[in-house]
Structure 1
Amino acid sequence: METETLLSSFVKLLVSDVERSAAFYEALGFKRLRSDPPFLQLRWENQAEVYLVKAPAALPVEGRRGAGVLIGIRVGALSVEEVAARAQALGVSVDGPTRQPWHTREVVLSDPDGYRLNFIEPA
């Protein structure tokens, strides 16, 4: 069950369009907890929090978002196949599922701003 208790770790993503990004994440299965401009808070089960933040005009981030970073999310109740199917229904290219040597199955996809999301389950 989702709670309003803040998790100890989270990621903030600078995005070009907060509502477009929120719709994408919600279609994957994230739940919107609150919208307090300039932040919009989302949660994946009780495991991960993502804050979407409108990129300030003075901060040059175009072409620099997400380079070399995978945001890891344990799938929990869904399987990596279910997450992949939801992403593909949004027209997103998905890498995987791939069995990794560290005993996980993983899919990787990109959000509308190019952030790479790595959904993970035990193999």
Structure 2
Amino acid sequence: MTVGPTKELTAQLAVEIHVSHLNRSLAFYKALGFSIERSDDTFAVMRWESSYIFLDQRNQVASTLDLPVANVRVVVNHIDVLWEQVQAANMRVIDMLTTQTYGLRDFTIADPDGFGVRFAQII
């Protein structure tokens, strides 16, 4: 396994997601605008600005719930543009685009293994 750069190693918070098919998950997150920092056969690092998601391929990934157990929030500047991209790509929507009372306009989708990704724009 390759050692990551200092920014990756010292990131205050990074989410690691267990995935069943690394290439499928890479394509999913790349379509949303994440960049691939590095990858090998079973592990990849994706970046959104200065934040990271680690994708770790596992033999057994079971998602038996209709709703994700957890989600990661990504703050964006153009929520409506991303919402259109998600709908055009026919991604699984968990929560529709909504203006929330707590000051965000957001939506949540599920990745190929059922992990929630919530995109939000500050109102």
* Range into which the TM-score falls when normalised by the shorter chain: 0.7 to 0.9
2:47 to 30, 40, 43: 43
Distance in 1 of aligned mates of 2:68 and 2:34:
23
Given residue 89 of structure 1, which amino acid in structure 2 is its aligned partner?
A: A
Is 1:81 equivalent to 2:58 in the alignment?
no
> What is the 5 A alignment of 1:78-117?
78-94=77-93, 95-117=95-117
What displacement does 1:97 show? 1.8
Moved over 3 A (4+): 64-67
CA contact (8 A) 2:21 2:57 kept: yes
Instruction: Give 1:37 shift.
Output: 4.1
Distance 2:27 2:61 in 1: 21
Task: Structure 2 unaligned segments of length 5 or more: list them.
Answer: none
- The aligned residue for residue 54 of structure 1 is 57
1:100: how far off?
1.2
The root-mean-square deviation of aligned C-alpha atoms, in Å, is 1.9
Q: TM-score, normalised by structure 2?
A: 0.81
Segments of structure 1 that go 5 or more residues without pairing to the other structure are none
How high is the TM-score relative to the length of structure 1? 0.81
Following TM superposition, by how much is the alpha carbon of 1:64 offset from its aligned partner in structure 2, in angstroms?
A: 5.2
1:16/1:61 CA distance change after superposition, 3 Å: closer
Return the alpha-carbon distance in structure 2 between the equivalents of residues 38 and 93 of structure 1: 24
User: Taking every aligned residue pair, what percent have the same amino acid on both sides?
Assistant: 30
